[in-house]
Structure 1
């Protein structure tokens, strides 16, 4: 039996990334769950991705989804290499931020 704080911490840690850390299937996912900065990058990236995906028109949405699938394949090639993963997340976040800039320019909302 754990205290309320310990159970809350364990529960939050298990789902902090964009996937369930208790059910990791690859070296890449395990490394992301173990590394706080990668975990944070994953959460930021998936949050931005979900926002962008909902705000763009249908045709652009399919392009962004295709980019995401390609990026996931690229990310997974890093396996458990932290530096490679950081660079890959930075690259994807920059691309998503570019999409956000285009959305902002189309405002006001």
Structure 2
């Protein structure tokens, strides 16, 4: 009985390990296997940055669908400028952390304005 339980645990751990390995290659908002810049590689190699990238990209994509066209264009222009600023951090993790935090706060402000206009 113990041996069977031990085998199940080993199988579970192997599943977690292999699924986690694929998580790190494509968890960012872009395909990490096709990362081109030093910044993109840094985002892919650091879980905190990877998670921040996914959260920011998700918020950004939701927001683009909720706002009128004029605001959408402004948000897209800001995103392009933000990406340029992000890429200046290169492999500086603390710089990237701050840049992602700043962008997420800005996107959250837009989302809060939408929530306040409710009801939904």
Same-fold status (TM-score > 0.5):
yes
Question: Of 14, 17, 26, which aligns to 1:15?
Answer: 26
Distance in 2, matches of 1:10 and 1:81, equals 23
Question: Of 78, 100, 103, which aligns to 2:111?
Answer: 100
Distance in 1, matches of 2:114 and 2:99, equals 23
Within 5 Å, which residues of 2 pair with 1:56-75?
Answer: 56-75=67-86
SS in 2 for 1:17: coil
Q: Which has the higher helix share?
A: 2
Q: Which structure has the greater CA radius of gyration?
A: 2
Per the alignment, residue 3 of structure 2 pairs with: none
Per the alignment, residue 49 of structure 1 pairs with: 60
Q: Any runs of at least 4 consecutive aligned residues in structure 1 with deviations exceeding 3 A, and if so which?
A: none
Distance in 1, matches of 2:101 and 2:28, equals 16
The Cα of 1:91 is off from its aligned counterpart by 0.4
Per the alignment, residue 29 of structure 1 pairs with: 40
Question: Considering only aligned residues, what root-mean-square deviation do their CA atoms show, in Å?
Answer: 1.3
Count residues in correspondence. 107
- Higher RCO (CA < 8 A, seq sep 6+): 1
